Amino acid sequence: MTAAEARQGSRVGLIIGVAAFAGGLWLLLNAMGVSLPEFKRLWPILFLIAAAAALVDYVFIKKVPSSMGWMVAFLGFGVLGFAVTLGYTDLGKILDWLPSFPTIIGLAMLTTWLAAGRDSDNLAIAGGVLVALGVLGFGARFDWLQRILPSAQVVWAVVLLAGGGFLVWRYVAGQRR
C-alpha cells in the first residue's frame, strides 16, 4: 500500500468516525435521560453528518476528488434512509427503492470524475452505466416513469453510443497531442 492509499483510507476512517462519534453521543445522551428525538427514526442523519464531513474534507483539508464522491454517496444513502424511516417507502417494498443503489453509486462516481477534472474514462463510463441502470430500474417500477422514459433498448443504445463515442473521442484527441 502506498502512502497516498494509506492517507486516503485514514480520511474515509475519519469521515466514518465522525458519524460514529455523533451516533454514540446521541445514544449516550439519550441513555442519560436527555430528551432527544428517537434514534430509530433519525439514524439516517449519521449519513448526512458523514456527507458534511466529506465535503469539509474536500473543501478545507485535502482536495481529493473521491471525497466529493463519498459526499454524494453518503447524502444519497441518508436521503434513502429518511425515505424508509419517515414512511415514504418501507423495507417490504424493496423493489421500489432498490434501483436507488446503482443510481447513488453511479452519481458518486460521476461526481468523483467531475471533481478529478474528468481525467478517468472508467469512472465516467461506470457511473453513467450505473445511473442508467438505476433509472431503468425505477422506470420498471413506476407507471408514470414508464410513460416518460424510452424503452430499455433505446436507453442502452444511447448509453453505449455515448460511452463508445466518448472513448473514441478521447483516443482521437490523445493522438493529436
| Secondary structure of the chain as H, E, C letters | CCHHHHHHHHHHHHHHHHHHHHHHHHHHHHHCCCCCCCHHHHCCHHHHHHHHHHHHHHHHHCCCHHHHHHHHHHHHHHHHHHHHHCCCCCHHHHHHHCCHHHHHHHHHHHHHHHHCCCCCHHHHHHHHHHHHHHHHHHHHHCHHHHHHCCCHHHHHHHHHHHHHHHHHHHHHHHHCC
Q: Is residue 55 pLDDT above 60, yes or no?
A: yes
Joined grid coordinates for residue 36 = 432527544
pLDDT of res. 73:
94
What is the signed CA dihedral for 27, 32, 35, 41, rounded to 10 degrees? 20
pTM over cut 0.85: no
Average pLDDT over residues 14-40: 81
Average pLDDT over every residue of 141-165? 72
Cα distance between residue 41 and residue 88, in whole Å: 12
Q: Inter-axis angle of helices 100-115 and 121-141, to 10 degrees?
A: 150
Lowest mean pLDDT of 37-46, 62-71, 144-153, name the range: 144-153
**For residue 111, what pLDDT band results from cuts at 50, 70 and 90?**
very high
pLDDT of 13 > 80? The answer is no
pLDDT at 168: 83
- For residues 50 and 69, the answer to whether their CB atoms sit within 8 Å is no
